């Protein structure tokens, strides 16, 4: 059988990935996550030439002796290693690279890592399966509990670099990661046409800052939850995963290439961001994110941060930040294109933004988004006169945000933006306002504003059309103010009960 024939046979066997990680499809190449899931294989043994029961092979299932040497003796290509119910102690990593079709499957199996002082460092990983120079192909890793409840434990469960055919599923980490070593997972799909799925990997207890661990001084901040680095080239989807607070980031894709999808799951209280993405294309859908604690004294904790890439979408996401310490969604320079839709954001009393687009980001679409904001910041902050045009529709802004330090619920410096179907209710103190436009070529239509102070402000704006809008202040203010340095403004079919102040 030729190598090509073998690859075809392996692919037909791993039906768990068929239809689960769709490639880039649709308008503009948005990462499709429809149908993401994994079918159950009725008979795993038929997918491998060799099946090893690790206990029959000599591994101790009581957690008294390390099993790494037994694993080394039996791991191989086209091999499935089964872990029956039991506790399996590991005090050094298993490293296996350049492989073809390997599986590790637990059935009531718990892996117990040695503590920081007893683990054979500095390679603090249980399983290193593939490297960037010698990636594997067709890897299954599923059905394990990781017991790191003992003091000064915490370990990278799996470091997987695979050309294609990666499945990591049903892994749960118990206990806080307090060793100060690498976080629970690093994943790369190295072939641009390759796929990977991380399904139900849970590490809800997070990690402590490295300064509070025996590894203090040897790492910046500490563990990241899931890492994807510069060697990722393919498509990788995280489905229904859970990450507690990690001191560096939660899910962190630092790659410039490849596609990342996040479908479902819960991400909470990590430093910098609970989800932080780069890459050519990324999608976050149906996930929930929370910032209600700062366990690592982080300088900032964005719920979602998009660093750089060609196209990103956020859809069906719920973000709750009762203790804000960063923006709910921040889009950084130089992201080319962003779509945010069907999303709910709730922000507590500290002055942090709902959605912020940095000055050099490209065009964006914001549709069917609700922001409840109690802090004096912008529900929507669109920076940069050179940034791309933004289409905003069906944006609802509520809450008790005051007007100081940032006065307006919506702030826009960009040109050629449209705002339709806005519903803004801002009754906070100190002159809270609705929308301020500072660029040119705007259309504001079919919108309702009820704010403490002036609902609509055109500050140096020009070529503005405002039509079919109602704007009512609850204090002594105008419905619309046009500053003296503004240009042409066209008003049509509006309801402005407090009148218009035009200083031109």
pLDDT, tens digit (0-9, with 9 covering 90-100), for 260-270 = 999 999 999 99
2: number of Cβ within 10 Å? 7
Quick: pLDDT tens for 7-36.
333 333 233 333 333 433 332 334 444 333
Token digits for 31?
A: 């990462």
Q: Average of pLDDT values for 145-150? A: 98
pLDDT at residue 338 tops 80: yes
Query: Confidence band (pLDDT; 50, 70, 90) for 405?
Result: confident
Quick: pLDDT tens for 200-225.
999 999 999 999 999 999 999 999 99
8-state DSSP, 207: B
Give the whole-angstrom CA distance, residue 45 versus residue 367: 48
Q: b or e along 392-422 (b: 16 or more beta carbons within 10 Å of the residue's beta carbon)? A: bbbbbbbbebbbeebbbbbbbbbbebebbeb
Q: Average of pLDDT values for 335-346? A: 98
**Residue 45: per-residue pLDDT:** 85
pLDDT at residue 307 tops 90: yes
**Alpha helices, H only, 336-393:** none
**Residue 43: per-residue pLDDT:** 81
Nearest to 471 by CA among 490, 489, 444, 503: 444
Q: What is the mean pLDDT of the chain?
A: 92
pLDDT at residue 314 tops 50: yes
Q: What phi and psi values does residue 487 have, to the nearest 5 degrees?
A: -105, -140
Query: Confidence band (pLDDT; 50, 70, 90) for 41?
Result: low
**151 close to 168: Cβ distance less than 8 angstroms:** no
Q: Average of pLDDT values for 97-116? A: 98
**Residue 42: per-residue pLDDT:** 58
Q: What is the CA radius of gyration of the chain?
A: 26
Q: Tell me the whole-structure pTM to 2 decimals.
A: 0.93
**Residue 17: per-residue pLDDT:** 34
**Residue 16: per-residue pLDDT:** 33
The pairing of beta strand 489-492 with beta strand 195-203: unpaired
Give the whole-angstrom CA distance, residue 91 versus residue 111: 11
Share of the chain above pLDDT 90, in %: 91
Find tokens 């100081």 and name the residue.
404
Nearest to 31 by CA among 277, 330, 366, 370: 277
Quick: pLDDT tens for 234-280.
999 999 999 999 999 999 999 999 999 999 999 999 999 999 999 99
**Alpha helices, H only, 62-104:** 68-74
Query: Confidence band (pLDDT; 50, 70, 90) for 116?
Result: very high
Element (H, E) at 12: helix 3-13
8-state DSSP, 377: S
Using H for helix, E for strand and C for coil, what is the string for 229-289? CCCCCCEEEEECCEECCCCCCCEEECCCCCEEEEECCEEECCCEEEEEEEEEEEEEECCEE
CA distance to 2, 341, 385, per residue, from 388 (Å): 51, 18, 8
pLDDT at residue 109 tops 80: yes
Query: Confidence band (pLDDT; 50, 70, 90) for 371?
Result: very high
């Amino acid at each position: 059988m030729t190598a090509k024939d073998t690859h075809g046979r392996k692919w037909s066997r791993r039906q768990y990935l068929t239809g689960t990680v769709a490639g880039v499809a649709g308008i503009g190449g948005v990462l499709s996550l429809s149908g993401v899931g994994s079918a159950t294989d009725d008979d795993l043994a038929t997918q491998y030439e060799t099946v090893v029961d690790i206990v029959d092979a000599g591994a101790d299932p009581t957690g008294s002796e390390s099993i790494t040497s037994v694993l080394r003796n039996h791991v191989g290509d086209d091999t499935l290693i089964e872990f029956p119910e039991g506790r399996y102690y590991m005090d050094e990593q298993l490293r296996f690279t350049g492989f073809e079709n390997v599986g590790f499957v637990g059935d009531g199996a718990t892996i117990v890592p040695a503590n920081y002082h007893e683990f054979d460092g500095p390679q603090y990983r249980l399983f290193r399966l593939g490297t960037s120079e010698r990636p594997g192909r067709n890897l299954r890793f599923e059905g394990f509990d990781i017991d790191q409840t003992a003091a000064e434990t915490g370990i990278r469960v799996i470091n997987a670099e695979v050309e294609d055919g990666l499945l990591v599923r049903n892994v749960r980490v118990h206990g806080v990661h307090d060793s100060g070593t690498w976080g629970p997972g690093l994943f790369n799909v190295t072939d641009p046409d390759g796929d990977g799925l991380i399904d139900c990997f849970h590490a809800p207890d997070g990690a402590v800052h490295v300064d509070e661990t025996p590894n203090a001084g040897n790492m910046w901040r500490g563990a990241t939850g899931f890492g994807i680095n510069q060697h990722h080239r393919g498509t990788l989807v995280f489905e229904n995963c859970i990450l507690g607070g990690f001191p560096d980031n939660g899910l962190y894709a630092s790659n410039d290439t490849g596609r990342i999808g996040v479908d479902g799951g819960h991400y909470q209280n990590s430093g910098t961001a609970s989800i932080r993405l780069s890459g050519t294309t990324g999608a976050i859908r149906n996930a929930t994110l929370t910032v209600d604690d700062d366990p690592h004294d982080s300088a900032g904790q964005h719920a979602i941060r998009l660093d750089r890439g060609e196209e990103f979408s956020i859809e069906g996401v719920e973000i709750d930040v009762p203790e804000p310490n960063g923006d709910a969604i921040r889009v950084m320079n130089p992201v080319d294109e962003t779509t945010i839709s069907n999303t709910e954001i709730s922000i507590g009393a500290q002055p942090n933004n709902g959605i912020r687009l940095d000055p050099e980001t490209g065009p964006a679409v914001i549709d069917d988004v609700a922001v409840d904001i109690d802090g004096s910041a912008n529900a929507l902050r669109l920076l940069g006169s050179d940034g791309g045009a933004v289409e905003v529709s069906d944006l609802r802004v509520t809450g008790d945000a005051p007007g100081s330090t940032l006065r307006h619920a919506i702030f826009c410096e960009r040109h050629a933006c449209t705002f339709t179907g806005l519903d803004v209710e801002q009754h906070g103190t100190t002159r809270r306002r609705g929308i301020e436009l500072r660029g040119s070529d705007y259309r504001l239509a079919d919108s309702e504003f009820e704010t403490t102070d002036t609902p609509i402000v055109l500050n140096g704006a020009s070529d503005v059309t405002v039509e079919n809008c109602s704007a009512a202040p609850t204090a002594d203010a105008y419905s619309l103010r046009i500053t003296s340095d503004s240009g042409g403004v066209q008003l049509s079919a509006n309801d402005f009960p407090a009148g218009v102040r035009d200083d031109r």
